[in-house]
Amino acid sequence: MLTGPLHNCRPGILLGRQAGLSGRPGQGPGPGVPLHGWTGRVLLLLLAAFFLAAPGCARIQHRLVADGENPDRLNSSFTDGRRGCYEQGRSLADNGFHAQAVELFRRAIEESEQDQWNSSTSGIDPMGYFPHRELGILYFQRREYDKAIAELEHSLDSAPSARALYYLNKARAARIERYALDRTAPVLNLESSSAEEVTNSLTKVVRGVAVDDTFIASIKVADQPVDMEPAPGKKIFRTEVPLIEGENRIRIVASDLAGRTTENHLTVYSDRQGPRIEIEELVARDNRVTLQGNVMDNMEVAFLRINNKHWPITGQARGYGFKLVLPDETITIVAGDQAGNITRAVVREHASDLVQADTQPYDERTDASPAAAEKAPHALPQSQAGPPGADVEPPYIRILTPGPDERTYAETILLEGMVSDASLPIYISINGESVPNRKGRKVFFSRLLQLAPGPNTVRITAADELGNKADRTVQVHRLVPPFRRLEARMAVAVLPFGRLSGAATPPGAVRERLIDAFAAQGRFRTVEQVKIDSILPDSAWDGGLPLTTGLAARLGQRVGAQAVLTGWVMDYPGSVEIVGRLIDVETGTILAANDVFGENREAGSLDHLADQLARKFRREVPLAEGRLLEIGSDGVIIDAGPDNRVKPAMQFICYREVPPVPHPVTGQSVVPEPQTLAVLKVMEVDGNFCRAAVVSGDLSRLMASDKVIAR
């Protein structure tokens, strides 16, 4: 409905969508219009000609009013002077009248030069104002690529949008093809010390640079897309890739706008198993000990120390033997590999440590040493009886670390252990993965284990050459600090999306896919959809224009959210645009606004667009971390600012890490639970810093160097 008085209003101002003439060229008019065949198109053309002949753009005095049926929806039935030509141009463009639409967009630009997401004096305008963008798209469709590129670049400079970026890439690609400008595929260089890398890390940061003689269209690292808007001629990238244990072949692919691709690979071997120290012989005689054995590794042994003295090795082989005579005292061996894993062994500490390969094995049943006392409870019944006098005892398994039912906040834990037997242990495994042994009667091993949140069971199995078996398990509990749990993240309520310009794409389907996409990425804690739907007014389901910021914030408060996600869906001929806004429910501040655009409205395409939009919000509102630099009387200074995408109204959790303490049983360092101190809210950002106030907690308890993490 129109409520503003008309000034210089020309016939044709409500053509196209508003008048129902939304048919494509060659089709009849839209529903409810009593015109048939080409009649509607002829009338539309005549009205457009009359409109273009009039001086200036038609004007309708603008004011935002509440729709009588839905006071919390935006009313877009009004247009002001600078929008008259723009909206009329869009109507003509959608109906195939490109020449007339071009002229109208030019007139719109004369009245208001810049594209804008928010062109309304009221501060709310879901339609936006993009004459440069729409003019550039028309030029592209008319194959005037240089003009298209100029207009689309202008639009992106003033009001970046996914639709403008999409057509800019298409226009550039078409121009490259027309003039045969692309002569080579992208050049892809990776930052790596060697073609193959060995590490015990859980992840690998892949760094590199891609350069093209035209424009880089996309880069994927292990199938992860690199953020790139718009397409550059040179792109420096950094992507963190999770590693599995063993060989990881990471594929990096760069493509340019002409369709040429370059592929590179980075091979990373994740070795989390330390060297094996195999003791073949340990004989004491005349206060001297003869020690013989081997050090073996899956990759390369980097160093070997015996009683803190380096054993001469080249560091380029998988195994080394050693034999030496030492004073009869405690003997320690430390070996490390190329990946940084270390295995430690105390091979001479008690009488039971002796290994005599050519004499009768030591009888542990008569030994009262501490080692023998520890051994007895863990031996399992024999699995295979041998002849009289043969070894019928199962291998002895000793777990040095971790301790029984150990609890840790770390993501990994070091397993250290030893297997010994009077016969040759021919099979040793950790959680089903083999630990090879060549000749050792006593084998020391270590392994870095990745822990899942909650209980983790580690099982060690050993068997000797006579078939005697032993099995031992230990459980490790990985604890997650409260401030790193999903419950501590920003609670986001995904509200219904509006429908603009008679969009055919159902906003409900878009909302459902966004809920799934936000939940899958783990950055935000999504409020249950049932809880949201139970408090939504009927007006929220009418498929009309987007919810106002005020109503969206009030709905978010009612369901206990810190922020709400809402927006709108807009269809174009053969394509769809989805715009989302993340709104702080307390202040109504828009924390982030993002959009996506695609030419396919099929279900699979909507899934892709929803995932893409969720990734954009995760990038715009990241899980930023930092430290307190200064404590004042009314707040704190944090070393995180715009470079970390920190914005006003964002909240941080402040915590303090506690120094490690020795485990009472194993003596290993144990990290206690960090202390959660306060919740902070960003008030302003400046440079690389931000100022925040305490929302909850005691300001006097905070100290410089305390850490923070975004909610």
Hunting for tokens 């989805």 — which residue is that? Answer: 578
**Count of alpha carbons within 13 angstroms of residue 476, beta-carbon side:** 23
Q: Distance from CA of residue 661 to its chain's centroid?
A: 33
How many Å apart are CA 604 and CA 601, to the nearest integer? 8
How many Å apart are CA 116 and CA 123, to the nearest integer? 12
How many Å apart are CA 374 and CA 141, to the nearest integer? 82
pLDDT greater than 70 at residue 665: no
Q: Per residue in 583-641, pLDDT tens?
A: 999 999 899 999 999 987 666 789 999 999 999 999 999 999 999 999 999 999 999 98
Cβ burial, residue 241 (10 Å; 0-12/13-18/19+): middle
State the DSSP H helix or E strand holding residue 558, giving kind and residue range, or none if neither: helix 549-558
How many Å apart are CA 397 and CA 378, to the nearest integer? 7
Give the CATH class of 276-480. mainly beta
Least confident of 158-162, 226-230, 499-503: 499-503
Least confident of 3-17, 151-165, 205-219, 410-424: 3-17
Average pLDDT, the chain: 83
Largest CA distance in the chain: 117
**Fold type of domain 625-710:** Thrombin, subunit H (2.40.10)
Query: If you count them, how many residues does the chain have?
Result: 711
State the DSSP H helix or E strand holding residue 591, giving kind and residue range, or none if neither: strand 590-598
How many Å apart are CA 231 and CA 611, to the nearest integer? 20
Of residues 139 and 358, the one with the higher pLDDT is 139
The answer to whether 187-270 and 276-480 have equal CATH topology is yes
CATH superfamily to which 484-620 belongs: TolB, N-terminal domain (3.40.50.10070)
The domain ranges of the chain are: 6-129, 187-270, 276-480, 484-620, 625-710
Q: Per residue in 107-151, pLDDT tens?
A: 999 988 899 987 553 344 567 899 999 999 999 999 999 999 999
Contact assessment for residue 456 and residue 477, using Cβ atoms and an 8 Å cutoff: yes
Q: Which of 328, 345, 321 is nearest to 419 (CA)?
A: 345
**What DSSP designation does 477 have?**
E
Instruction: Return the SS3 of 302.
Output: strand
**Tokens standing for 699?**
């300001």
Mean pLDDT for the stretch of residues 244-248:
94
pLDDT of residue 78: 36
pTM for the whole structure: 0.80
How many Å apart are CA 14 and CA 306, to the nearest integer? 90
DSSP codes joined into one string, 305-344: EETTEE----S-SSEEEEEEEEESS-EEEEEEETTS-EEE
pLDDT greater than 70 at residue 384: no
pLDDT greater than 70 at residue 361: no
Give the CATH class of 187-270. mainly beta
**Count of alpha carbons within 13 angstroms of residue 110, beta-carbon side:** 11
Q: Per residue in 186-195, pLDDT tens?
A: 999 999 756 6
